[in-house]
Structure 1
């Protein structure tokens, strides 16, 4: 993805950028980009075909023979191939530059014959791996560019395969673009829900028995949630731009569906923000509980010290080297047969008296 991977380690990817002063629309491939492969989906009201590892000749032929095509380019290493796709569909070079320069903020741009929409998606739910995906759609085509294999589009492909009446077969490219973007947005819900379950579990453990590892767990989740927030927040603005556009290739009926996707994005943003606030509150609560526990321990040690200070004083007095034979004032208790038990009894009396006094003052 453009920003980082929330797997507990901070990682920053360096992206290939055109040289300073280069002509606008210059395409520079990232050295780590995957090799490009084309997957072609051909759609009509009565039939559909799926062509894996398609060639540019297949794409050009499909443009003339099918009412709606979806071209999915997986991998961004082959700049020449991407430029040829741009030539076939008349894609703007500035938008193609944003395709290969991954790390773009979610946005929607409009050109004469097509729209450009870019966002980040989760292509591996187990590791929460992100990547940038770019959409171009006009009147009869949808072109998507992915960084690598793996996407949430299989349900959309299944709907295209369905033989019974399907909106994806009977409507134009704007509805197909909606279905794909909606699938990307909905793919965030399992990640957000799983994060919420982890936060709830940590909260229960924290209230029952706080442990030091809770802090590191909460910090890791908060970092991942902050990344989600940075990803989802711009998505709302991009969807709003799509809905408010007056492009002729986006129908009013499809805007209603895009508005539903916007509602999902808003709900995700609100949930993520709520989780983030909850985690901050739990971190503060953990610190407060730790401080309270420390104060409790210090208080107990202070009480114990307060009890033993006078006893230590008495033991020090009786432990001095006095000679009772030289004077009656030189501690006559040293020759008293009951001096030892009397001294212990007096010390016990002092200790018990101090405990009762502390309880009376509600210090214990």
Structure 2
């Protein structure tokens, strides 16, 4: 049996200044400098370019007009970038605040000329910690801007599909591209749930071998991880439902058809989480029951030993009082003291009596089934 992998939840710092005006952008002190990559594509071509500043982005978009553009931004540590996006694409300041805040629940907000959506990206880092990262999207005609907190390349499958040019991704528009990105996020939920499910199977096998407190703590960590996934999947389902029912022309009918598939996947995620949560509760109860049963077995053995030695101890205690049968000074016989104290074979007779009593008790306990 291999050792259980310790999957834990990476703590997320919360820094929000109370009393700020709505729309004030507060950048995290640990926010990374942005890395920007633009993918411009049509059914017949794909152009990717790393962007260093806003001027290059303007030049790239102007040069490749008529194509669909995906602006992939990883890292939110530049106030200049937020100011540029707000002015260049006429984005509301509340949207920019939510992008920088990185603690938003999945949601969809409709504005004049664009849609704003957030999702929670959950994945394991190299230290087997669950990263809870915010993904933000601004959907415009022929342009999709995505915002990611870290440099982790979680969206590489979408880049691979763009490079392959197969399926609908090259000609279905920016709303379909947004669908594919959210589909990758939901698929990561499945991978994480199955990983945690494998650990629960390992824990269940260990419970039958050697239950201990550390296993219970590990089960509790997995339960917390399941709750984290549920907190991300429930509002994600509601957001996708809002997208399906939206009247915005930015979301095409073809895209809505595929969004229904994601909606079903979210329901599957929620069902799996609820099932595994029940499993964690069952394993915790099983662990406590097994430990309690083993403690009962130990207490039964100790009780049998105590029951055997209590009468023997009583006999030894009585004859250990040593009240003399005669007065050593006057020689007077004390009839109510111990006449057996000076018996020739009293010690052997007492041992035999004690042994016989112990044997009778063992036989009685055996007939009662205490040794089974």
> Considering the TM-score relative to the shorter chain, is it more than 0.5?
yes
SS in 2 for 1:129: strand
Tell me the residue number matched to 1:113. Answer: 113
Task: Give the equivalent residue in structure 2 for 1:28.
Answer: 26
**Residues 220-268 of structure 1, C-alpha deviations (whole Å, 9 max, x = no match):** 2222222222222221111111111111121121111111112222212
- Alignment RMSD, CA only? 2.3
* Rounded Cα–Cα distance in structure 1 between residues aligned with 2:10 and 2:52: 37
* Local SS of the residue matching 1:167: coil
Show the counterpart of 1:3: none
**1:83-115 Cα shifts (integer Å, max 9, x gaps):** 212332332322121101110011111122221
Tell me the residue number matched to 2:146. Answer: 144
Provide the TM-score with structure 2 as the length reference.
0.88
Q: How many residues align?
A: 356
| Residue of structure 1 equivalent to 2:36 | 38
CA distance in 1, matches of 2:86, 2:174: 17
Q: Deviation at 1:330?
A: 5.0
Distance 1:254 1:243 in 2: 9
Partner of 2:133, secondary structure, is strand
Distance in 1, matches of 2:206 and 2:124, equals 28
Give the deviation of 1:21 after TM superposition.
Answer: 5.3
Q: Give the secondary structure class of the aligned counterpart of 1:250.
A: coil
- State the alpha-carbon separation in 2 of the partners of residues 229 and 49 from structure 1: 38
Counterpart position of 1:355 = 362
Relative distance call for 1:346 and 1:261 in structure 2 (3 A) is same
Q: Please give the per-residue CA displacement for 1:105-148, whole angstroms capped at 9, x wherever unaligned.
A: 11111122221110111354443222111011122110001112
Distance 1:83 1:327 in 2: 110
Mean CA deviation greater in 93-102 or 8-17:
8-17
2:103 maps to which residue? Answer: 103
CA distance in 1, matches of 2:124, 2:356: 71
Structure 1 segments unaligned to the other structure (5+ residues): 1-5
Residue 332 of structure 1, CA deviation:
4.4
Q: Residue in 2 aligned with 1:216? A: 217
| Cα pair distance change 1:322/1:299, threshold 3 Å | same
Question: Unaligned 5+ residue runs, structure 2?
Answer: 1-5, 327-332
- Provide the rounded CA distance (Å) in 2 between the counterparts of 1:10 and 1:162: 35
Instruction: Note if contact 1:124-1:130 (Cα within 8 Å) is conserved in structure 2.
Output: no
2: CA distance, partners of 1:328 / 1:37: 105
Would the aligned equivalents of 2:9 and 2:131 in 1 still touch at CA under 8 Å?
no
SS of alignment partner, residue 150 of structure 1: coil
Contact kept? 1:125, 1:191, Cα under 8 Å: no
TM-score calculated relative to the size of structure 1:
0.89
Task: Name the CA shift for 1:351/1:42 in 2 (closer, same or farther; >3 Å).
Answer: same
Distance 1:46 1:193 in 2: 38
Q: Which moved more, 1:284-293 or 1:92-101?
A: 284-293
What secondary structure is seen at the aligned counterpart in 1 of 2:296?
A: helix
Matches within 5 A, 1:293-312: 293-312=294-313
- After superposition, where does 1:14-25 map in structure 2 within 5 Å? 14-17=14-17, 20=19, 22=21, 24-25=22-23
Does the CA-based 8 Å contact 1:120-1:132 persist in structure 2?
A: yes
1:68 and 1:140 in contact (8 A); partners too: yes
Residue aligned with 1:148, SS: coil
Distance in 2 of aligned mates of 1:144 and 1:218: 35
The aligned runs of 1:39-188 (5 Å cut-off) are 39-64=37-62, 65-122=65-122, 124-126=124-126, 127-163=129-165, 165-188=166-189
C-alpha contact (below 8 Å) 1:98/1:104 kept by paired residues: yes
Cα distance in 2 for residues equivalent to 1:295 and 1:66: 76
Q: CA deviation at 1:157?
A: 0.8
